[in-house]
Amino acid sequence: MPSPRKTILVIHPSAPDPAAIRRLLGTMGHIAITAEGPRAALKALGAMRFDVIFTSIGGVQSDSGQSFLQDLRAVAPGSAVVGIHGQGLDAANEAWMGECDATIQAPLSSSRVQWALDFELRYFGN
């Protein structure tokens, strides 16, 4: 059984086509908004509630002196955070990925997204 419709914020500045990510999530029945970077993401989170946040940036130091992932958690404490990573994880990415509620490998596909939402996040918030 597919997961219920979710409102998803995607922060993936290196994505070649952010519109393709919105379309992918839309065809899966979700509402998706993409943010160009940390500042735009935090602004979107201040204006709207998201069930899930997909991000490829998290370990980056923010203006607050914390990691961007910590800023996400502070602004959207009820949102699940899914880390997007490439083929291999380097030590810097591995550290903040370990703090995510789930991880998913790029490029995003419907099967990878569905797996993360249905199985990796199945107990989130319970």
Residues 7-28 as b or e (16 or more Cβ within 10 Å = b): ebbbbbeebeebeebbebbeeb
Q: What is the pLDDT of residue 122?
A: 86
Check residues 92 and 76 and name the one with the higher pLDDT.
Answer: 76
pLDDT digits (tens, 9 = 90+) for 16-55: 888 899 999 999 999 999 998 899 999 999 999 999 999 9
Q: What digits encode the pLDDT tens for the residues 9-19?
A: 999 888 888 88
Statement: residue 73 has pLDDT above 90: yes
pLDDT surpasses 70 at 83 = yes
- Sequence spans of domains, the chain: 37-120
28-37, 87-96, 112-121, range with the lowest pLDDT:
87-96
CATH architecture of 37-120: 3-Layer(aba) Sandwich (3.40)
The span from the CA of 121 to the CA of 101, in Å, is 7
